[in-house]
Chain A
Amino acid sequence: MRTAGGIRRRQSRAAWFFLAPSLAGVAAFNAVPFADVVRRSFLDAMGKSSVGLDNYRSVCGNVAFQLAAVNTARFLAVCLPLLMGISFGLALLVFRRDGRGNFYRTSLVLPMVIPVAAIVLVWKMILCRDGLLNQFLTWISPLEGWSLLPGGGVGRWEGRWETDWVNGITAFPVLVVTYIWKNAGYDLLLWLAGLASIPESLYDAARVDGAGAFARLRYITVPGLSGTFGLVLILSAVNSFRVYREAYLLAGSYPDMSIYMIPHLFSHWFLTLDVQNMCTASMLLIAAALSVAAAAAAGRRAWRRVTGR
């Protein structure tokens, strides 16, 4: 008993020794200033007198904040299922137990590595008003006066397509596609790792029992990937805020309303040094993240109770 306690104490002291440099920096750059952020979110613009919840009321009532929050939520709601579905499909397509198919894997991960600033010129090449996409659409639109999308909202039809894909209502799907192009590779690697961790013997047994390809997918692959699912979801959500880089480089700091997101709002507030608004909005975002995490944890507990695992 005494030795066990002794070992634990020794371990504990060594752990703090290893942690100290990292903790010091995290405290200096995040924890301590965070206290200041909390304080400022309750103070007036000068940082002198307390205004209670007025800042929260004004930020929540701010039209730009509402727009940015709704757009960000919508972007996540559209992108996360799409990205996870597509990358899962690609993983099933590329996965080989013998480790072959390396070229496909390398190719699919490559977009993750390519700097946004570099690839953005190619996106412009494709999406600009006389770009490749419009040329292609003109080419496949057989008759003059006939448009793929009626109403003229997307394609102004004057014999040829001249849609400005980046500045307009189509900016949202454009952003979704560039996001998926860039991030599918990362999720693919996570899925592939999950697939490799499912023992082959399970599939063999199922095959012997006469399970078809779909049944094997439904009853072995999908349950076997439940652990991977959570991580893919979290990391995809983290990466989704980085789509600001594409949005900024394609459409500038005043983009179409449909892709005005939280990062745009923060960079505007940052330019005007609107510290108290930024502090308040940061608090709101952290609260949102924590409540999503709490909901997910509760959901997982409930799921475990139901399935009895």
Chain B
Amino acid sequence: MKTGFVRWSFARCRKNLRSALCGAVCLLVWLPILLMLAASFMPEDELLYRYAEPLGAGREAVRAALLPSYPAVSPYIELLFRSPGFFVMFWNSCIQVIPALAGQLLVGAPAAWAFARFSFPGKKQLFFLYVLLMVLPFQVTQVSNYLVLDRMGLLNTHLALILPGIWSAFPVFIMTKSFETIPDALMEAAYLDGAGEFGAFLYVGLPSGYAGIVTALLLGFIDNWNALEQPMAYLKDLFLWPLSLYLPGIAQDKAAVAFAACMVMMLPPVLLYLNGQSELEQGIAASGVKE
């Protein structure tokens, strides 16, 4: 009886400790986000009173708050209706990201299918090339890309970001790993039912590899939405800049809307993530097996 109680309270204690640790770690994630959320609902004078130094408006002690003293939606109204610059940059981001992702799907998915389901001479070496391209930091491929874009006269256009984005190697890797998990029996059944190679890819491969495709696109979206190095290198004109390059300077430009702009920029990737979370977990899981 006594040992039973001791063991019960010990297990209980460990469970609580575990929850407390999890909670503490999650707090580390949530606190910065909540600080930002609260700041995005502060009117300009409160912002300048609380966050003068981070906003570059003089040196005064930061007075952080998780709730605004004078909650206001005015920053959002100012941002969405009276900041044409923000609008332009937001659309620039969309124009640069969405075609690149569509291209990744059109070009990368068939390539991944070839790597995952076929055997052909040179496959191993080619896949190694893709993995190498994936592993090399942007700065290494930057020179190659720059030389081509320069030759094609595409520098300082949206295409300078879209085209190299389409042929990114990472989505091919993720989708290949996901297509590899499709059981052979399923494919054999498709072929027996008279599906051609393309039909099998379209009607069996794509639906079965759905999680991998979503993962590749989601990670691609996050990466491209965040792009900093590429636009910095290839875009000279301010009116072509994406949000990721414009946002850091917005504090100097219009301090009042800085945090609201951050929240709006955060929204698309966060919503996409919350929607595709289970696919993302499956897709990343698939990339981990059969290394």
B192 to chain A minimum Cβ distance, whole angstroms, is: 14
Q: With A19-B114, A125-B51, A196-B285 in contact, is A282–B262 under 8 Å at CB? A: no
Chain A residues with CB under 8 Å of B243's CB are 117
In the complex, what distance in Å separates the CA atom of A125 from the CA atom of B42?
Answer: 15
Q: With A28-B148, A33-B147, A262-B139 in contact, is A93–B21 under 8 Å at CB? A: yes
B233 touches A270 (CB 8 A): yes
Q: With A109-B273, A117-B265 in contact, is A18–B201 under 8 Å at CB? A: yes
A236 to chain B minimum Cβ distance, whole angstroms, is: 11
Segment from A130-138, A147-155, A301-309 that makes contact with B: A130-138
With a 10 A CB-CB cut-off, give which of B33, B62, B121 has the most chain A CB atoms: B62
A interface residues, how many (CB within 8 angstroms): 92
Name A228's closest neighbour in chain B (CB-CB).
Answer: B288
* Extra inter-chain contacts (20) besides given A23-B126, A30-B141, CB under 8 Å: A18-B110, A28-B148, A104-B25, A108-B26, A110-B29, A114-B269, A115-B225, A117-B226, A117-B245, A118-B36, A130-B53, A181-B28, A196-B285, A228-B288, A232-B288, A244-B228, A248-B228, A249-B248, A262-B137, A285-B137
Q: With A15-B114, A36-B147, A108-B26 in contact, is A122–B35 under 8 Å at CB? A: yes
Chain A residues with CB under 8 Å of B61's CB are 130, 135
A21 touches B139 (CB 8 A): no
In the complex, what distance in Å separates the CA atom of A123 from the CA atom of B62?
Answer: 12
A112 touches B121 (CB 8 A): no
A117 touches B139 (CB 8 A): no
A235 to chain B minimum Cβ distance, whole angstroms, is: 8
B169 touches A26 (CB 8 A): yes
B107 touches A25 (CB 8 A): yes
In the complex, what distance in Å separates the CA atom of A14 from the CA atom of B138?
Answer: 32
A117 touches B273 (CB 8 A): no
Judged by DSSP, the binding face of A is helix
Name A128's closest neighbour in chain B (CB-CB).
Answer: B53
In the complex, what distance in Å separates the CA atom of A135 from the CA atom of B53?
Answer: 14
Q: Is B108 an interface residue when CB atoms closer than 8 A count as contact? A: yes
A193 touches B289 (CB 8 A): yes
Task: Fill in one digit per residue for A264-300: 1 if any B CB lies within 8 Å of its CB, else 0.
Answer: 0011001000010011001001100110010000000
Judged by DSSP, the binding face of B is helix
B248 touches A289 (CB 8 A): no
Q: With A110-B270, A196-B285, A231-B287 in contact, is A131–B54 under 8 Å at CB? A: yes
Chain B residues with CB under 8 Å of A232's CB are 288
Q: Is B167 an interface residue when CB atoms closer than 8 A count as contact? A: yes
Q: With A22-B108, A122-B35 in contact, is A117–B247 under 8 Å at CB? A: yes
Contact of B280 among A111, A132, A189 (CB under 8 A): A189
In the complex, what distance in Å separates the CA atom of A231 from the CA atom of B166?
Answer: 23
Chain A residues with CB under 8 Å of B26's CB are 103-104, 107-108
Q: With A18-B111, A124-B54 in contact, is A107–B139 under 8 Å at CB? A: no
Q: Is B182 an interface residue when CB atoms closer than 8 A count as contact? A: no
A-B contacts, 26 listed (Cβ < 8 Å) = A12-B120, A14-B118, A18-B197, A23-B111, A26-B129, A26-B169, A109-B277, A110-B29, A115-B247, A117-B243, A117-B247, A117-B262, A121-B251, A122-B36, A123-B32, A128-B53, A186-B284, A190-B285, A227-B289, A232-B288, A234-B135, A237-B135, A278-B142, A282-B144, A286-B140, A293-B135
A128 touches B54 (CB 8 A): yes
B53 touches A37 (CB 8 A): no
In the complex, what distance in Å separates the CA atom of A267 from the CA atom of B251?
Answer: 24
Task: Fill in one digit per residue for A236-271: 1 if any B CB lies within 8 Å of its CB, else 0.
Answer: 011001001100110000000000001100110010
List CB contacts (< 8 Å) of A177-194 with chain B. Answer: 181, 186, 189-190, 192-194
Q: Is B229 an interface residue when CB atoms closer than 8 A count as contact? A: yes
In the complex, what distance in Å separates the CA atom of A108 from the CA atom of B130?
Answer: 29
10 tightest Cβ-Cβ pairs between the two chains A and B: A193-B285, A22-B111, A25-B167, A15-B118, A241-B137, A118-B262, A33-B144, A124-B54, A18-B114, A266-B139
Q: Is A106 an interface residue when CB atoms closer than 8 A count as contact? A: yes
In the complex, what distance in Å separates the CA atom of A197 from the CA atom of B113?
Answer: 24
Contact of B139 among A17, A234, A241 (CB under 8 A): A241
A22 touches B167 (CB 8 A): yes
